[in-house]
């Protein structure tokens, strides 16, 4: 007799353990580790689903009292044993229930049916078929049978759909013919494929000497059976993608598979197009814009070996490949690789753990590596490779810093500086393209009364509302946290003054100003508000790549790794936006964004120019980004982290306590802080408790505690102790307590 230890599909801390069930004899050969099964649960034997974590011959309880598994859940994918081990790592490191961790690594979260194409062919000889046709055609009740048989004597195989739709033959007739042994119904499973056919495979780019040296070095490491983590540190336009593809080709030739992570869905179109040219139908994609059926099919194709390369954001990391050999994380510095939902895992660290479990190599690539990654590369934990020049030996773009304070002195109050306008005119005349980047969507960042000074805030969140302009002249104030919106008021809701002013700028205002100043220019805007549909990213990017627009205005999604050869000018409208946010990574984030934005210019055969508009031109990170001097920036930044005890020098965890009851949220956070302080752990720093920076979201009050220690294992032990304590206190059972290990944003 076999037994299965199962975690139930209910995300509650009290149930975050395994329950043992008997595996019936008829399921012994079908149930495996990772199977999603249906089981009777609780006193009422309610049927729920769960995941098999272990199969054993040993009963933990009296067999007479154990219940049996009902069956395997239809349409579910079997989670590989390796992915279950990965889920355990996520649970332990990042703090969540095992169930939530499993749902993170399980690609499809709902029942999905495979699609079938059905065909009909004769099972009898043609001579027998003609005899049957003669027999049935003369009988009133068998005309439909005769029709099918006659058609099959003329065509050896027919589509089932044609027979039922065009010949008007019922399913019942066909089943009867099959049962009689006259015909055979062939069922072929076919897969929904979200990847378009991009034509012939005509990839013929030769690596330069430096690219070849790096590719050969990593391939030799892979062929030796090592599973090291490599960092390719290369300037923008240095050809990192070409190096990835050369290494991936080697991996595929060794009958292994590769995962390529990209930070934004917006990068999918460009990336898949390049990979398709080299690898054809061996490539597929996974992302949140696909339907459940498309996602299901891509993972099925990966499991059966039809797909060898999976490209996508974080979720692609959990592709159930049988023989994974390589994981590539492009633009590894991007904060998008850190999940903002529980469990708050970082794809880089989880990828390295999956590489360890599967004995696969991990490659990190960036022109601006995260401080964390570069620190580990310099310490020897990762293997460091450098690409110091652009692939075509093109020089980096010329950068102009515009001090916006001086623009005011010159009488220019426009959001576009004099220099930027001059260069836009020049590029439009030359039929070259322009990218304008501002990392804030909407029209204005907030609206405030000039009489009483009050800004208009969301009633459900501790934030100001953002102004958005819609077609038809409709202006709305919208909360970017909970979605609350109201029409733009004509008078101040506090003092009834008519003097309401807009402050700050966003992508909508930049687009409007460009259309006013350059009415003949064709403009596209790309931000969260214009990319809600499945194909919106691809449509905007392909239109710009095909020369259907002169100017692309957008948020950070337009500056992440895109390659537009005709772009010769990049304008950074407000370089200071991310500089003064109240978290320790503000300088790093600003440096990365500015360097990446500047790197979009001059990638083809035209020289590039960049205009950086700022009120703080003397800031170190802006100066270093302008000169593309990453290593000087790193030296300054790591000194600051060492001084302040921030990652990667120190490990940190945020404990976020949230509840609709403000008093209860405060009580719980105080209790947790007190418990941690009482533990008297040597070297543990405790900051807080305090209110979160955004202290209320959607009527839920938020409080935080920060804990820091040089040893990450100490942080994890404290987290586990807090979780265990919370499980025992029934009064806290409905209070949300989340953990964020080495956070990438402030709370």
Q: Is residue 203 part of a domain?
A: no
Indicate the pLDDT class of residue 606, thresholds 50, 70 and 90: confident
Q: What is the model's pLDDT at position 686?
A: 95
* Bond preceding residue 180 cis, omega within 30 of 0: no
CA distance 648 to 642: 9
Q: Is residue 69 part of a domain?
A: yes
What tokens does 167 get? Answer: 């010949």
Given a cut of 90, is residue 742 above it in pLDDT? Answer: yes
Q: Is residue 76 part of a domain?
A: yes
Q: What is the model's pLDDT at position 371?
A: 97
**Shared-domain flag, residues 252 and 374:** yes
Q: What is the model's pLDDT at position 198?
A: 62
Q: What is the model's pLDDT at position 217?
A: 97
Q: What is the model's pLDDT at position 201?
A: 66
**Higher-pLDDT residue of 432, 628:** 432
Q: What is the model's pLDDT at position 470?
A: 78
CB 144 within 8 A of CB 173: yes
**Shared-domain flag, residues 408 and 543:** yes
What tokens does 166 get? Answer: 């065009």
Instruction: Tell me the average pLDDT across 536-546.
Output: 89
Q: What is the model's pLDDT at position 107?
A: 62
**Shared-domain flag, residues 437 and 473:** no
- The string of pLDDT tens digits covering residues 449-474 is 878 878 888 999 988 888 888 776 67
Q: What is the model's pLDDT at position 309?
A: 96
Residue 248 burial class via C-beta count within 10 angstroms: exposed 0-12, middle 13-18, buried 19 and up: buried
**Shared-domain flag, residues 414 and 363:** no
The domain that contains 96 carries what CATH number? 3.40.1440.60
**Higher-pLDDT residue of 334, 237:** 334
CA distance 327 to 317: 8
Given a cut of 70, is residue 197 above it in pLDDT? Answer: no
Given a cut of 80, is residue 335 above it in pLDDT? Answer: yes
- The string of pLDDT tens digits covering residues 229-260 is 999 999 888 889 999 999 999 999 999 999 99
- The string of pLDDT tens digits covering residues 110-141 is 556 667 788 888 888 888 888 888 888 877 77
- The string of pLDDT tens digits covering residues 548-602 is 999 999 988 887 767 788 999 999 998 887 777 778 898 999 999 888 888 888 7
Given a cut of 60, is residue 104 above it in pLDDT? Answer: yes
Q: What is the model's pLDDT at position 113?
A: 67
Q: Is residue 645 part of a domain?
A: no
**Shared-domain flag, residues 434 and 550:** yes
Nearest to 523 by CA among 546, 559, 555, 551: 551
Q: Is residue 192 part of a domain?
A: no
How many domains are contained in the chain? 6
Nearest to 214 by CA among 262, 246, 236: 246
The whole model's pTM is what?
0.81
- The string of pLDDT tens digits covering residues 726-740 is 989 989 989 999 999
In the chain, the percentage of residues whose pLDDT exceeds 70 is 95
Q: What is the model's pLDDT at position 11?
A: 61
SS3 call for 658: strand
Q: What is the model's pLDDT at position 564?
A: 86
**Shared-domain flag, residues 330 and 359:** yes
Give CA torsion, residues 374, 379, 382, 383, to 10 deg: 100
Q: What share of the chain is helix, strand, coil (3-state, %, to 5)?
A: 35, 25, 40
**Shared-domain flag, residues 364 and 418:** no
For residue 552, what are the β-bridge partners?
435, 524
- The string of pLDDT tens digits covering residues 407-416 is 888 888 888 9
- The string of pLDDT tens digits covering residues 547-561 is 999 999 998 888 776
Q: What is the model's pLDDT at position 199?
A: 61
- The string of pLDDT tens digits covering residues 647-685 is 999 999 999 999 999 999 999 999 999 999 999 999 999
- The string of pLDDT tens digits covering residues 305-316 is 999 999 999 999
CA distance 323 to 257: 6
Rg (CA), the chain: 30
CA distance 358 to 322: 9
Give the relative orientation of helices 630-644 and 586-598 as an angle to the nearest 10 degrees.
170
**Among residues 595, 619, 640, which one ends one of the domains?**
640
CA distance 700 to 391: 51
Q: How far apart are the first and last CA of the chain?
A: 51
Q: Which domain holds residue 435?
A: 398-442+507-640
- The string of pLDDT tens digits covering residues 435-446 is 999 988 887 777
Indicate the pLDDT class of residue 402, thresholds 50, 70 and 90: very high
Q: Is residue 113 part of a domain?
A: no
Give CA torsion, residues 688, 691, 692, 693, to 10 deg: -110
The domain that contains 284 carries what CATH number? 3.40.50.300
How do 474-478 and 485-487 pair as beta strands? antiparallel
How do 324-330 and 257-261 pair as beta strands? parallel
**Shared-domain flag, residues 94 and 140:** no
**Among residues 136, 165, 181, which one ends one of the domains?**
181
The domain that contains 660 carries what CATH number? 3.30.70.600
**Shared-domain flag, residues 635 and 545:** yes
Q: What is the model's pLDDT at position 207?
A: 92
b/e string for 264-276 if b means 16 or more Cβ within 10 A? bbbbbbbbbbbbb
Q: What is the mean pLDDT of the chain?
A: 88
Q: Is residue 201 part of a domain?
A: no
Instruction: Tell me the average pLDDT across 74-97.
Output: 82
Q: Is residue 118 part of a domain?
A: no
**Shared-domain flag, residues 499 and 596:** no
**Among residues 364, 387, 410, which one ends one of the domains?**
387
Q: What is the model's pLDDT at position 745?
A: 84
Indicate the pLDDT class of residue 641, thresholds 50, 70 and 90: very high
b/e string for 21-43 if b means 16 or more Cβ within 10 A? bbbeeebeeebebbbbbbbebee
**Shared-domain flag, residues 260 and 382:** yes
Q: What is the model's pLDDT at position 76?
A: 65
Helical residues (DSSP H) of 107-192, grouped into ranges: 126-137, 143-154, 160-165, 171-179
For residue 655, what are the β-bridge partners?
705, 739
- The string of pLDDT tens digits covering residues 207-237 is 999 999 999 999 999 999 888 999 999 988 8
**Shared-domain flag, residues 420 and 350:** no
Give CA torsion, residues 439, 444, 446, 450, to 10 deg: 140
């Amino acid at each position: 007799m076999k037994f299965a230890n199962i975690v139930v599909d209910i995300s509650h801390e009290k149930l975050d353990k395994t329950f043992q069930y008997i595996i019936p004899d008829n399921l012994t050969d079908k149930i495996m580790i990772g199977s999603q099964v249906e089981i009777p649960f609780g006193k009422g034997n309610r049927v729920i689903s769960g995941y098999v974590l272990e199969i054993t011959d040993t009963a933990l309880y009296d067999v007479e009292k154990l219940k049996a598994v009902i069956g395997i859940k239809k349409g579910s994918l079997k989670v590989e044993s390796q992915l279950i081990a990965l889920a355990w790592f996520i649970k332990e490191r990042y703090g969540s229930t095992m169930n939530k961790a499993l749902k993170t690594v399980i690609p499809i979260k709902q029942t999905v049916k495979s699609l079938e194409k059905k065909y009909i062919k004769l099972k009898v000889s043609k001579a027998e078929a003609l005899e049957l046709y003669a027999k049935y055609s003369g009988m009133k009740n068998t005309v439909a049978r005769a029709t099918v048989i006659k058609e099959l004597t003329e065509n050896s195989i027919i589509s089932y759909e044609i027979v039922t739709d065009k010949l008007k033959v019922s399913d019942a007739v066909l089943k009867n013919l099959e049962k009689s042994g006259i015909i055979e119904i062939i069922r072929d499973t076919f897969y929904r494929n979200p990847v378009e056919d991009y034509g012939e495979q005509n990839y013929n780019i030769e690596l330069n000497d430096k690219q070849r040296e790096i590719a050969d070095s990593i391939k030799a490491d892979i062929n030796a059976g090592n599973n090291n983590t490599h960092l390719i540190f290369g300037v923008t336009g240095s050809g990192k993608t070409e190096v990835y593809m050369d290494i991936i080709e080697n991996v595929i030739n060794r009958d292994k598979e590769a995962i390529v992570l990209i930070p934004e869905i917006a990068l999918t179109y460009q990336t898949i197009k390049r990979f398709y040219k080299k690898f054809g139908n061996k490539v597929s994609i996974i992302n949140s814009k696909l339907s459940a059926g498309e996602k299901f099919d891509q993972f099925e194709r990966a499991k059966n070996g039809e797909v060898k390369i999976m490209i996508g954001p974080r979720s692609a990391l959990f592709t159930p490949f049988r023989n994974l050999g390589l994981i590539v994380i492009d633009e590894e510095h991007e904060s998008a690789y850190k999940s903002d939902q529980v469990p708050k895992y970082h794809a880089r660290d989880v990828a390295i753990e999956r590489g360890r479990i599967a004995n696969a190599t991990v490659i990190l690539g960036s022109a601006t590596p995260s401080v964390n990654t570069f620190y580990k590369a310099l310490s020897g934990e990762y293997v460091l490779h450098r690409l110091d020049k652009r692939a075509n030996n093109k020089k980096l773009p010329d950068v102009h810093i515009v001090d916006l304070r001086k623009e005011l002195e010159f009488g220019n109050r426009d959001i576009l500086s004099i220099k930027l306008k001059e260069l836009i005119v020049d590029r439009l005349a030359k039929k070259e393209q322009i990218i304008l980047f501002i990392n804030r969507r909407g029209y204005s960042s907030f609206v405030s009364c000039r009489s009483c000074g009050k800004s208009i805030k969301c009633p459900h969140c501790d934030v100001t509302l953002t102004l958005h302009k819609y077609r038809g002249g409709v202006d709305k104030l919208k909360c970017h946290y909970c979605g609350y919106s109201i029409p733009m008021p004509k008078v101040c809701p506090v003092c009834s003054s008519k003097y309401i002013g807009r402050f700050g700028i966003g992508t909508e205002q930049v687009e409007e100003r460009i259309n006013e100043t350059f009415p003949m220019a064709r403009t596209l805007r790309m931000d969260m508000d214009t990319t809600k549909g499945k194909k919106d990213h691809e449509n905007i990017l392909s239109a710009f790549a095909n020369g259907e627009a002169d100017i692309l205005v957008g948020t950070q999604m337009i500056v992440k790794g895109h390659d537009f050869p005709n772009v010769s000018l990049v304008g950074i409208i407000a370089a200071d936006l991310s500089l003064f946010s109240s978290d320790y990574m503000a300088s790093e984030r600003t440096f990365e964004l500015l360097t990446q934005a500047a790197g979009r210019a001059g990638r083809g055969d035209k020289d590039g120019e960049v205009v950086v508009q700022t009120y703080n031109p003397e800031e170190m990170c802006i100066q270093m980004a302008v000169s593309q001097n990453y290593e000087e920036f790193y030296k300054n930044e790591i000194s600051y982290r060492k001084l302040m005890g921030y990652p990667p020098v120190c490990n940190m965890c945020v404990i976020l306590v949230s509840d609709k009851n403000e008093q209860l949220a405060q009580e719980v956070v105080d209790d947790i802080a007190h418990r941690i302080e009482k533990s008297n752990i040597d070297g543990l720093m405790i900051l807080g408790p305090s209110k979160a920076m955004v202290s209320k979201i959607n009527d839920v009050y938020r409080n935080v505690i920060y804990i820091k220690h040089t040893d990450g294992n100490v942080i994890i032990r404290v987290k586990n102790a807090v979780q265990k304590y919370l499980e025992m206190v029934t009064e806290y059972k409905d209070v949300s307590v989340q953990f964020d290990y080495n956070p990438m944003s402030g709370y």
